[in-house]
C-alpha cells in the first residue's frame, strides 16, 4: 500500500509570524486524517521553527522547497541539504517548474540536487510536467519521459525507491485550470509504466506519485480517487488552513 500524501508548497508566501500562525490553525482544524501524511514546505527561514512545532504531531512532516546541489562552501545566499536536514525537515522539493523556469535549473543540475538530498537522508519530492505547448503538440508524454530520464534514472534502484514524484503540468500551476482526472491518471499511469520499464514492477508499484496544479478542496476528491494518484502537491490552496485540511481529508 502506497502512503497517501498531501504536501503544502507555500512558495514565497507568509512572514515568519504568519507562517507559525498558519501551522497553529492547521493543527486546530479538525478532523485531520492521521493516515494521510501532511508535508509542509515553507520558505527556508521557517523550517526549524515549523519542524519543531510539528515534531511530535502524528502525520506531519516538513520539506524545504529547494536546496543547493553541492555540499558546502562559498555560495552566498544558498542553503545546503545538510543544513535542511539539521532543522528536522525530512523532504526537499526539487525541480519545481518555477525553479526550472525562473532560475534556469536544468535537468543535470536537478540530478545533482537529487543526489545530495538523498545523501543527506532527505526524501526528494521531484517535480516534473509539461508546458501547454508540449500538450498541444501531443508531446507531453515525451517531455515527461525525458525529465524522468535526465533527472532520476541515473539512480540505483535502492535510491530511486526512496523518492516521491510530483506530476505538475505547468499550465495547471496557479492558473485555476486543473488537469482532468483523465489527464492526471493518464500521465501518472504513464510515469508508473516508465518506472516499471526501468526499475521493475515492485519499485514502480511502490513509487508515490503526487498530482499538482490548481488542486483545491473541490477537485481533490476526484483527483485522489484516481488509481495512480497518491496525493497532491498544493500551492495556493495550502495557504488557508481550512482548505489545506479539507484537501488532506479528501481521500
Counting contacts by CB under 6 A, is residue 129 touching ligand PGA?
no
Compute how many other C-beta atoms are within 10 angstroms of the C-beta atom of residue 156: 9
Which of 26, 187, 215, 245 contacts ligand PGA by CB under 6 A? 215
What DSSP designation does 21 have? H
Counting contacts by CB under 6 A, is residue 9 touching ligand PGA?
yes
Give the range of 32-40, 51-59, 200-208, 227-235 binding ligand PGA by CB under 6 A. 227-235
Query: What gap in Å lies between CA 204 and CA 209, rounded to an integer?
Result: 10
Q: Which is nearer to ligand PGA, 191 or 233 (CB)?
A: 233
Instruction: Indicate if 154 belongs to the active site.
Output: no
Number of residues that bind ligand PGA (CB under 6 A): 13
For residue 94, what are the β-bridge partners? 126
Counting contacts by CB under 6 A, is residue 231 touching ligand PGA?
no
Instruction: Tell me if residue 44 falls in helix, strand or coil.
Output: helix
Which of 19, 124, 212, 231 contacts ligand PGA by CB under 6 A? 212
What DSSP designation does 179 have? P
Q: Are 39 and 61 in contact (CB under 8 A)?
A: yes
Which residue is listed with cell 496544479?
Answer: 213
For residue 63, what are the β-bridge partners? 91
The whole-angstrom distance between residue 195's C-alpha and the CA centroid of its chain comes to 18
What part of residues 164-183 is at the interface with ligand PGA (CB under 6 A)?
168, 173-174
Instruction: Indicate if 168 belongs to the active site.
Output: yes
Counting contacts by CB under 6 A, is residue 42 touching ligand PGA?
no
Considering the candidates 46, 68, 69, 96, report the single residue annotated as catalytic.
Answer: 96
Counting contacts by CB under 6 A, is residue 40 touching ligand PGA?
no
Q: What is the distance between the terminal CA atoms of the chain, rounded to a whole angstrom?
A: 14
Provide the Cα torsion 119, 120, 121, 123; round to 10°.
-90
Name the closest residue to ligand PGA (Cβ): 235
Counting contacts by CB under 6 A, is residue 63 touching ligand PGA?
no
Residues contributing to the site for ligand PGA (CB under 6 A): 9, 168, 173-174, 212-215, 233-237
Amino acid at each position: 500500500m502506497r502512503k497517501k500524501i498531501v504536501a503544502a508548497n507555500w512558495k514565497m508566501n507568509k512572514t515568519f509570524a504568519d507562517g507559525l500562525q498558519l501551522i497553529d490553525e492547521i493543527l486546530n482544524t479538525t478532523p485531520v486524517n492521521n493516515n494521510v501524511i501532511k508535508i509542509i514546505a515553507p520558505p527556508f527561514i521557517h523550517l526549524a521553527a515549523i519542524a519543531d512545532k510539528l515534531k511530535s504531531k502524528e502525520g506531519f512532516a516538513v520539506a524545504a522547497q529547494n536546496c543547493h546541489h553541492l555540499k558546502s562552501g562559498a555560495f552566498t545566499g544558498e542553503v545546503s541539504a545538510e543544513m535542511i536536514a539539521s532543522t528536522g525537515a525530512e523532504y526537499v522539493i526539487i525541480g519545481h517548474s518555477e525553479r526550472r523556469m525562473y532560475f534556469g535549473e536544468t535537468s543535470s543540475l536537478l540530478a545533482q540536487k537529487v543526489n545530495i538530498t538523498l545523501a543527506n537522508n532527505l526524501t526528494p519530492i521531484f517535480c516534473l510536467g509539461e508546458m501547454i505547448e508540449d500538450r498541444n503538440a501531443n508531446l507531453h508524454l515525451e517531455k515527461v519521459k525525458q525529465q524522468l530520464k535526465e533527472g532520476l534514472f541515473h539512480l540505483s534502484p535502492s535510491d530511486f525507491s526512496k523518492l516521491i514524484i510530483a506530476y505538475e503540468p505547468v499550465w495547471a500551476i496557479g492558473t485555476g485550470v486543473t488537469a482532468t482526472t483523465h489527464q492526471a491518471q493518464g500521465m501518472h499511469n504513464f510515469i508508473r509504466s516508465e518506472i516499471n520499464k526501468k526499475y521493475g514492477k515492485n519499485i514502480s508499484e511502490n513509487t508515490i506519485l503526487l498530482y499538482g496544479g490548481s488542486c483545491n478542496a473541490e477537485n481533490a476528491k476526484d483527483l485522489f480517487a484516481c488509481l495512480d494518484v497518491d496525493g497532491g502537491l498544493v500551492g495556493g490552496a495550502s495557504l488557508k488552513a481550512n482548505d489545506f485540511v479539507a484537501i488532506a481529508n479528501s481521500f
